[in-house]
Chains A and B, each alone.
Chain A
Amino acid sequence: MTQHSRAKFQSSGKIQFGIFFQGVNSGTIWKAPESGSQTDFESFRRIAQTAERGLFAAFFLGEGLRLREHLGRPHALDVAGRPDAQTMLAALASVTSHIGLVATQNTTYNAPADLAHRLASLDLLSGGRAAWNVVTTDNAWTGANFRRGGYLDHADRYVHAEAFVETAKQIWGSWEDGAVSSSVSAESWAAPSHARSVHHSGQHYSVDVTPRLPRSAPYRPVLFQAGDSPEGRDFAARQADVIFSAHPKFDDAVQFRADIVSRSLAAGRGANDVQIMPASEFILGATDEGAREKKEWVRSLQIGPQQAVAYLEQFWGRELSAYDPDGPLPEIDPVVEETSETRGSGFHGAKARQLAEEWRAEAKEKGLSIRQFVSSRTSRVDATFTGSYTAVADTLAEYARVGAVDGFNISPWLIPTGLDDIVNHLVPRLQERGVYPTEYIGSTLRENLGLATPVRSESLEPVPAGNAR
């Protein structure tokens, strides 16, 4: 492509789907009779194979390296306890053939050479379907499960993550193309001096390794990234192939796209080089009314009375179980200076008292009970598409037309049947509208996402220590 065309964003006119098997958080309903196991392999197999039947591009697994806590105890109210992402994806690789396999993996509590090796292994094992959702953590609370403990300052986390990703890319690029012989009568298993060693010596770690895996067909795992701060967006614009965004609403998605295009260009990449797949939830029915009724049911099971009170407790820093979930917000003040949100999710550090006052005022003005108020606060509100199959298909077609997003990463609210409606009813309507794939284009995730094969980094010289660029 010419420089000019690379600089101008062009919509593909299509959207794709990913499935995000959360395994933790209140989005997954466990109280319904049809709620399945969160750990049995059959749940994972069923949902991955349904997604593949619906030509989904990717199957996502999340990761949290310490069990969530609430007021100093493990959080009891939501689904919790999930398998290791890469182990589960390696197993799913044997019972699926086309769907991408995305592992959320932490840069803080892994060693670059080890993580890069395991991701390369998953990529080869799956025939080029592996991806890495790059996440960072800095808290000592999570570090308590690891040899190094909490060693990283919050401000350093993207500097650290970027050096980590650069090192991983060098490891994935260290073997020559076609280094391993394709002849049964070869004299040498691989070309002599087939691999270059990789060195990195930085502030937080050092790496000195001769990688032991060749390049996969798509060169390396696809990189996803979900950071939303300005630093996170710049990091994604420099390093990621796909952003797992928090901006599913139409106008917001269009703005986010424009922002990422400009950041990508500023980073020297093409306008189409970074794809965007926002987190989303779908509540569908044969009619709009049916879908609305279903939504009432879904929400009542996602945010039960105990969850609503617990949501406030994490900001108040105290037990509030004496309060009626269907009554007004507590008049008593938080006992903490800063909020201590359920650990292992979301943000920390808001000023508790001020927040409580604002929320009380808002709930009073709108006449909302604790339960209603909490339901209105969760991030799912913006991320949910509710309506008839036809209406939602029309809505998504408009996203595709303008290129607001490249796809949606769908969190099903039921395991393992939560994609059935989408695959059976929404996907065919999207295909009729010409905005959804009718077959897998290729066998690798990179091909199916329409991502270009990356260029090998010119230099295998180490990234200078602490290089934030």
Chain B
Amino acid sequence: MSGNSRGGQRGFLALELDGDGAHPAAWRKARHAPDELLTGSRIRSTVLAAESAGFHVATFADGPVNSRPDGMGCDVAGRLNALHRAAFAGPVTSSIVLVPEADTVYTEPFHISTQLASLDYVSGGRAGWLVAASRSAEEAAAVGRSFVEGAGLPQEAAASVEVSRRLWDSWEDDAVIRDVPTGRYLDVDKLHYVDFETPPDFAGAGYSVKGPSIIPRPLQGQLPVIAQSGLLPSAADVVLVSAPTPELLAAEVAEVRARWAGDGGRAVIGGGPAVVAELDVVLDSRGQSASARLAELDAFTSWSSSRARFVGTAAELVDFLADLLTVADGIRLHPAVLDVELEELAQLVLPKLRRRGVLKPVVQGATFRELLGLERPVSRYRHVGASAGRGAEATAAVVGSEN
């Protein structure tokens, strides 16, 4: 496409792989029995299908499953941990980026940081973090914490992301030296305490994190951080944008982009976070129209979603996505029924988008940062000098101290 507002750059496609699909009744149309959902083989087959279809990114939702039992029974009521699903997918895939959702409110920032860094290692640098700030009172009660609401949520998210960012930098890239003559495996001058403290106006229970990390710097240096627009005003590498209808989506994407760029939404990648549009998708399949399929699913359980919803043919979707990619850096699709929509997307949508030249190439072994066009950053502590590793002359003074 020429003359698009991103300067002709091509975009990427992400697919949410949660459960049997985004529609709560999706499991009824899944091509397997309910008890085959929460298994490794299901993760393997879906992520490989997404990769071979040409998706650039797979995302893995997390958190409590809202299954409201009624007279007819219940919908999917279980969910494997998202970080586990992404980690399991790491060694069996080679190009698709793996992005688990991980909460920042009711989790330990130190654990999340270590887990995500580990995911980067098991995926060969193809990891990202979809930052969530749980609004669930249920999750608060599960871990015995006070419920956090309102302005407290972005504060928790920002604090947890800052902890991870500092910990990921706390080992400089060349901290492991394996220097046989001096007997040193590590150069302690390249390890750094992070000394994070929540700010004075922090609404929730304040905390501190000492560091350094217990794992070396992630392969990417810093994992790309993804968040819903508005959650992380300054720290996200990718923002997710939603609108009530497909028609409003492009304008919303342009507006969000303009907030960073200040030039009417004509910034290119690198001028601010990448902007990714969120879209629910229902397609015609095997002779049944999308609207008929949706009606059938809705008859079981109604589907409420904050995202725009595309209901139509594969050809219409191709046109819609190609247009949207002139303003958005990427689009995340939420398939109504994963087994059904993924088949249609793989056969009728992605091949045509590739032919139109609107998609970035899929590169074996490329990192998520490379997909986003982001440099591998130097550690923020690179020039700080001996932070965790004190000079030898200072050592005597800290003997036996707690640090």
Contacts and interface: CB of A to CB of B under 8 A. Distances in A.
The finding on whether chains A and B are genuine partners in a shared complex, rather than unrelated, reads yes
Interface of A: 30-31, 35, 38-41, 45, 64-67, 69, 71-84, 86-88, 90-95, 109-111, 113-114, 117-118, 121-122, 124-127, 140-141, 144-149, 180-184, 186-190, 192-195, 205-210, 212-214, 304-307, 317-319, 335-336, 340
Contacts of B88: 90-91, 93-94, 125
Contact of A214 (B78, B211, B212): B78
B89 A94 contact: yes
B220 interface: no
Among all A-B residue pairs, the 4 with the closest Cβ atoms: A188-B73, A306-B183, A91-B122, A72-B398
Contact of B107 (A72, A114, A183, A318): A114
A72 B399 CA distance: 6
Given A77-B183, A87-B84, A114-B142, A186 B92 contact: no
A229 to B, nearest CB: 24
A81 B395 contact: no
Interface stretch (B26-34, B49-57, B283-291, B359-367): B26-34
A212 B389 contact: no
Contacts of B67: 189
Contacts of A88: 87, 118, 121-122
Contacts of B215: 39, 81-84
A90 to B, nearest CB: 4
Given A95-B91, A186-B34, A189-B76, A140 B402 contact: yes
Contact of B399 (A127, A210, A335): A335
Contact of B144 (A31, A111, A335): A111
A145 B34 contact: no
Interface string B13-45: 000000000000001000111110111100110
Interface in B135-170: 138, 141-144
Contacts of B39: 124-125, 127
A78 B186 CA distance: 8
Given A114-B107, A144-B210, A319-B395, A192 B390 contact: no
A336 B399 contact: yes
- Residue of B35, B111, B124 contacting most chain A CB atoms (<10 Å): B111
A459 to B, nearest CB: 20
14 contacts: A39-B121, A64-B214, A72-B395, A72-B399, A81-B214, A87-B87, A88-B87, A91-B122, A144-B210, A149-B208, A189-B27, A189-B73, A192-B73, A194-B74
A373 B44 CA distance: 52
Contacts of B329: none
Interface stretch (B174-182, B223-231, B260-268, B309-317): B174-182
A213 B115 CA distance: 21
Contact of A74 (B142, B144, B186): B186
Contacts of A340: 399-400
A109 to B, nearest CB: 7
Contact of A192 (B33, B69, B119): B69
Contact of B142 (A45, A113, A149, A319): A113
B14 to A, nearest CB: 21
A33 B108 CA distance: 38
Contact of A94 (B32, B91, B144): B91
B330 interface: no
Contact of B80 (A186, A205, A213, A335): A213
Interface of B: 27, 31-35, 37-40, 43-44, 64-65, 67, 69, 72-81, 83-85, 87-92, 106-111, 114-115, 117-119, 121-122, 124, 138, 141-144, 171, 175-176, 178, 180, 182-188, 191, 205, 207-216, 388-390, 392, 395-396, 398-403
B188 A45 contact: no
A212 B69 contact: no
A81 B89 contact: no
Given A146-B108, A205-B144, A94 B92 contact: yes
Contact of A67 (B119, B185, B213): B213
A66 B27 contact: no
A181 B33 contact: yes
Given A145-B209, A146-B108, A190 B185 contact: no
Contacts of B212: 67, 74
A189 B80 contact: no
A67 B122 CA distance: 21
A90 B87 contact: yes
B338 to A, nearest CB: 15
Given A77-B185, A140-B402, A147-B207, A210 B35 contact: no
Given A73-B389, A306-B184, 20 more contacts: A41-B91, A41-B121, A67-B191, A73-B395, A74-B388, A81-B171, A81-B176, A84-B111, A84-B118, A84-B215, A91-B122, A94-B44, A95-B92, A109-B108, A111-B144, A113-B142, A180-B35, A205-B143, A209-B141, A319-B392
B32 A184 contact: yes
A187 B121 CA distance: 42
B75 to A, nearest CB: 5
A188 B80 contact: no
Contacts of A141: 402-403
B34 A189 contact: yes
A144 B69 CA distance: 43
A127 B88 CA distance: 12
Contact of B388 (A41, A45, A73, A307): A73
A392 to B, nearest CB: 30
Nearest to A194: B77
B34 A41 contact: no
A305 B181 CA distance: 10
A307 B183 contact: yes
A248 to B, nearest CB: 27
B52 to A, nearest CB: 17
A229 B255 CA distance: 63
A140 B403 CA distance: 11
A213 B78 contact: yes
A78 B73 CA distance: 56
B44 A207 contact: no
